[in-house]
Structure 1
């Protein structure tokens, strides 16, 4: 960990890890040297610290000016980044402020008057504050786009570019994400100065837990009953994904039938509703939390036993993003797909590299069924799969 030699004593003392993760080993020295970086590394591999530590080393907390901007696509991710920074800046002069939509803007303006060293925010609120001339960009020398694949998608691309262009001309720009497509990389390079490209895969992670990829065949109409059954399994703690928020809301009442320990999370919920739902999940009162990809962006939930694909994702990137939320920090996990027959072709293509195994739901238990993997020959017939479904209540 040679990069620690270049850190202040306060940061060295706070480092309590036995070793750095691969993305930290690659990214921290490059950022300390001042290079622009495009970094790709799976969810849960230490990307936040990989960019936070170099920023903390390079900013000057004694200066009364905002020097670093970290952008994130969701309120939850922004809050998590702020919490990490607060833990590391304790005992220093460095200050941090959160600038997110859904929170009191006047209160944020008051905090900006104190010239926080670092600001962390969502694009919409950042633009509002810049237009109101409350957030001054010209002194900002360090910019990070966390979940950069979403921030550089068409929805945010122009907004993000304008924010970067308004910063100090001698700025450092860093883009990090679990997946970065060729298109996103091209867009990023247009906003950066000869960036270095870093990439870490799950195979590069020395302490990743064992993650089993599995699927249960079911009729599409039976997925709700199956989810309710899974929610009563002992010790399950699952984040489940659906593709469509309208379908999610339609299923909400059915999912909670008979007090099943299930809740849904969607982006239009109020900040209080989302926080309450997440708190109930963390306390174990909810065992399965169902969300869309957008609503789950930035959620960092420790100790997930399962990721459940209620709907098969549309892309490999989606599958990897979702699946990477279990099997973190050396823990084992399972990625379970509820596979209806019309989804089989898409699933075979997405999941083939992970060699998924077939399981069956029978008498309230999830057990290995047909031993053939989905990449091989035909599975057991539809009649046998349908028999394994939970009875409707």
Structure 2
């Protein structure tokens, strides 16, 4: 590590590099192509930032390319790399889809040494002859398990063809291992050293993995109540954009504290949503797996799975947004009884300790309240055991139970309701009675 980096490292309060930072430093310095596997939030970005900046030479054009799966992750990485690059007079440029192309082309004329980009935009600029990669020395593929699939895999291989591939150093980083990562030498035509520190990395704080049972009709209401928990901010994950948009409409009507981050938003809208969430001005950030991939929100207290993750890999990436760099965190999965049974099957072969959680007095707790009365058929109260406050509800007439429910934050008490007497013939129309009234009005009887 360069002396200026050591000084900055110490002033920011770090005592020693993380396991992944230590493990990849020498191989990257020696020019080896590697695959680095480490938990989310373990410092992978700095693990490749330092070796890149030690190798590039100011004023010699584009020498390093970092590929990211989303605009947000690309901008986040750019900010980290640029923060360290200014210490060695290296220019860093972000090139992402959704941003102004003309502005990016103007900045390319300033000859940056490091580019952080999304594959699609790089391919477009290379194809138009606007981006030259002939002097590229190193290419980093971040979140490789996500990027090396289907269309983006083809794009990355095409980008490689636009370089002097024989001498180009490659580095792949991921939190999870997929089959494609075992076949990197075959796909990219060179040996790739695997460096896996997941078993020894202890940078993650204590993260509670909890499940909360709630029916589909009451999930939005529960989410709103969770947003009122003191000091809680949470990334809320959805599988489908349509459901995310529906929930956003419901929360907006209920004046909940939230923003949404989706792939179909304009870049300025996405940046604003992230800024408000990171600054703590809203409690919830509704998003999808693709939009939030790799996002780093410092000291994020919680992650909420509004919809079940489709597999263990998805759960690992979602839960990795909280508990980063030693901080504590909470991962809360919502669902009805059937959902939670399916979720347990998905997670059966993992080491995660999954427990039930309850919302009591606007706090997420592990202890079940002393008394929870099952909701009546006509009164779909909270399925998750959360308090509804001091409210009184009277049973609809004709319901066999005929009770009045008095609900408090501590318990629910069922009390008998007063019987409602009906008069015989009540509300029945009588033609004869109506005619007598008409005659009285006419003749003054």
Gaps of 5+ in 1: 372-379
Residues 357 and 368 in structure 2, CA contact (< 8 A), matched pair in contact too: yes
Residues 263 and 289 in structure 1, CA contact (< 8 A), matched pair in contact too: yes
Q: Could you say which residue in structure 2 is the equivalent of 1:120?
A: 116
Correspondence list, 1:113-192, <5 A: 113-168=109-164, 169-187=166-184, 189-192=186-189
| SS of equivalent residue, structure 1 residue 53 | helix
1:232 CA displacement: 0.6
Residues 228 and 255 in structure 1, CA contact (< 8 A), matched pair in contact too: yes
Q: Could you say which residue in structure 2 is the equivalent of 1:358?
A: 356
**Residue of 212, 218, 221 corresponding to 1:225:** 221
- 2:5 is the counterpart of 1:11: yes
Inter-partner Cα distance in structure 1 for 2:388 and 2:156:
50
Residues 228 and 262 in structure 1, CA contact (< 8 A), matched pair in contact too: no
Residues 205 and 328 in structure 2, CA contact (< 8 A), matched pair in contact too: yes
Residues 40 and 179 in structure 1, CA contact (< 8 A), matched pair in contact too: yes
Give the direction of change, closer, same or farther, for the CA distance of 1:385–1:286 in structure 2 (3 Å limit).
Answer: closer
Inter-partner Cα distance in structure 2 for 1:249 and 1:113:
40
Residues 41 and 204 in structure 2, CA contact (< 8 A), matched pair in contact too: no
Larger relative contact order, structure 1 or 2 (CA cutoff 8 Å, min sep 6): 1
Gaps of 5+ in 2: 376-380, 392-445
Q: Could you say which residue in structure 2 is the equivalent of 1:236?
A: 232
**Residue of 285, 290, 307 corresponding to 1:289:** 285
Residues 237 and 303 in structure 1, CA contact (< 8 A), matched pair in contact too: no
**Residue of 35, 55, 58 corresponding to 1:58:** 55
Give the direction of change, closer, same or farther, for the CA distance of 1:239–1:220 in structure 2 (3 Å limit).
Answer: same
Q: Which has the higher mean CA deviation after the structures are superposed, 133-142 or 251-260?
A: 251-260
Structure with greater helix share of residues: 1
Q: Could you say which residue in structure 2 is the equivalent of 1:32?
A: 29
Give the direction of change, closer, same or farther, for the CA distance of 1:187–1:91 in structure 2 (3 Å limit).
Answer: closer
Q: Could you say which residue in structure 2 is the equivalent of 1:206?
A: 202
Which structure: larger Rg? 2
TM-score by length of 1: 0.90
CA-to-aligned-CA distance 1:110-141 (integer Å, 9 cap, x gap) = 22223211111111111111011111122112
1:299 CA displacement: 1.9
Residues 69 and 143 in structure 1, CA contact (< 8 A), matched pair in contact too: yes
Q: Could you say which residue in structure 2 is the equivalent of 1:375?
A: none
Give the direction of change, closer, same or farther, for the CA distance of 1:388–1:23 in structure 2 (3 Å limit).
Answer: same
| SS of equivalent residue, structure 1 residue 48 | helix
1:162 CA displacement: 0.5
**Residue of 361, 364, 367 corresponding to 2:365:** 367
1:319 CA displacement: 0.4
TM-score by length of 2: 0.80
Inter-partner Cα distance in structure 2 for 1:350 and 1:100:
35
| SS of equivalent residue, structure 1 residue 354 | coil
- 2:82 is the counterpart of 1:86: yes
Q: Could you say which residue in structure 2 is the equivalent of 1:341?
A: 337
- 2:18 is the counterpart of 1:21: yes
Residues 359 and 386 in structure 2, CA contact (< 8 A), matched pair in contact too: yes
**Residue of 57, 64, 75 corresponding to 2:71:** 75
**Residue of 290, 294, 304 corresponding to 1:308:** 304
Q: Could you say which residue in structure 1 is the equivalent of 2:46?
A: 49
Inter-partner Cα distance in structure 2 for 1:88 and 1:100:
21
- 2:329 is the counterpart of 1:318: no
Inter-partner Cα distance in structure 1 for 2:265 and 2:319:
24
1:39 CA displacement: 1.3
| SS of equivalent residue, structure 1 residue 179 | coil
**RMSD, aligned CA:** 2.3
Give the direction of change, closer, same or farther, for the CA distance of 1:56–1:192 in structure 2 (3 Å limit).
Answer: farther
- 2:186 is the counterpart of 1:197: no
